[in-house]
Amino acid sequence: MMKSHRRRLEELEHKNLVQDAALSGETEGRKYAESKCEIRTDFQRDRDRIIHSKAFRRLKHKTQVFIAPEGDHYRTRLTHTLEVAQIARTIAKALHLNEDLTEAIALGHDLGHTPFGHSGEEALAEMYSKGFKHNHQSLRVVDLLEDKSGAYPGLNLTLEVRDGILTHTGNQQPKTLEGEIVRIADRIAYINHDIDDALRAEIISTSDLPEGALEVLGRTSSQRIDRMVKDIIKHSWQQPEINRSQQVKEATEELRQFLYNRVYVGSKAKTEEDKAKGLLKQLYTYYNDNPEELPQEFKNKLEMYPLPRIVVDYIAGMSDRYALKRGREIFLPRPWLG
């Protein structure tokens, strides 16, 4: 019997990847058993399922930093995700780790992010008694809310991808080196593109950036990303963990803290933040009081989960513009046409 293309790819992983790489042929598997694809490895299959999901498409209209940005060149949650995937794959390839697993984790890491960025996350965390974290919601999206076939809930991703999505932020360490790469690539991407967007919006100027960090990392976004990526590769090559030099780590954290002080809190980029949080809180209250107004696919899940949990799922999945549309329809008076 002729060997499948998938088996040839699995053998190439065994031959070409380093000892500590995650191998698709040795995955810890899926929650629900299913037959293998003849062409794609399990990690490639996970990547494709994420890309074809509705949650992935909605990322194009979700805030990164600027709420419902009108300019063509500001990042959205989707462009952020693509930049993370590019950086992460570059690192994984150089270190002879599993690129497909790395890409799948990167593409899925923010699927559970709310409309209006972290302000939306804060609103739902304040309203929902059990709290809200976007990484936990991302896992819930792929495990339950996305319906691939109806044969089982969610996308039925491999454990390695699910672990990387859950642990891309927070205190829990990823089980794979590929997951650790995405965790760091996420920070590299948002630090540099948020600086770029803040400069474009004239919230900050180049002279405001901390000089010490620029001397270490570079004065342009391209230079900084190049320095950060090369530093990881140099200090992680043939090591059992993903490392960075102390100098680059400290300079990176200095830029991150600068963004929190000058852009993420109190800047004109965030002037609409209170309105956005207020809208999501209003929507949360409204749908808890009027569950019959939920879409049918969410009402179908009320037999399995409490109403507040389902309301959170619905609101977290909204794009910025859809949340604004629902707000106008529900809370603003309409002209009488009689």
Count of domains in the chain? 1
Asked if the structure places residue 175 within a domain, the reply is yes
Rounded distance between C-alpha atoms, residue 145 and residue 317, angstroms: 9
Closest C-alpha among 134, 201, 205 to residue 166: 134
Q: Say if residues 84 and 189 touch (Cβ distance below 8 Å).
A: yes
- Tell whether 14 is covered by a domain: no
The backbone torsions φ and ψ at residue 68, rounded to the nearest 5 degrees and listed phi first, read 45, 60
pLDDT tens digit sequence for 151-169: 888 999 999 999 999 999 9
Domain that holds residue 206: 36-271
Residue 63, pLDDT score:
85
Specify the pLDDT at position 1: 47
**300 lies in some domain:** no
- Diameter over CA atoms, the chain: 74
Residue-level pLDDT at 337: 65
pLDDT digits (tens, 9 = 90+) for 283-314: 999 999 999 999 999 999 999 999 999 999 99
CA angle 288–293–298, rounded 5-degree value: 80
Q: Is residue 141 part of a domain?
A: yes
> 0.85 cut: is pTM over it?
yes
What CATH number does the domain containing 140 carry?
1.10.3210.10
pLDDT given at position 259: 95
* Amino acid type, 27: T
Q: Strand, helix or coil at 82?
A: helix
CA distance 59 to 54: 9
Helix (H), strand (E) at residue 55:
helix 54-58
b/e burial code for range 147-167 (CB count within 10 A of at least 16 → b): eeeeeebbbbbbebbbbbbbb
- Judge whether 81 lies within some domain: yes
SS3 letters across 126-148: HHCCCCCCHHHHHHHHHHHHCCC
pLDDT tens for the chain, 338 residues long, are 457 999 999 999 999 999 999 999 999 999 999 999 999 999 999 999 999 999 999 999 998 877 766 666 788 999 999 999 999 999 999 999 999 999 999 999 999 999 999 999 999 999 999 999 999 999 999 999 998 767 888 999 999 999 999 999 999 999 999 999 999 999 999 999 999 999 998 999 999 999 999 999 999 999 999 999 999 999 999 999 999 999 999 999 999 999 999 988 777 766 788 899 999 999 999 999 999 999 999 999 999 999 999 999 999 999 999 999 999 999 998 876 66
Give the whole-angstrom CA distance, residue 29 versus residue 25: 9
In a domain, 309, yes or no: no
Q: In whole angstroms, what is the distance from residue 304 CA to residue 106 CA?
A: 30
Residue 199 lies in a domain: yes
Is residue 315 within 8 Å of residue 126, measured between CB atoms?
Answer: no
Quote the pLDDT of residue 335.
Answer: 78
Domain assignment of residue 287, yes or no: no
Question: Which of 188, 238, 201 has the alpha carbon at shortest distance from 84?
Answer: 188
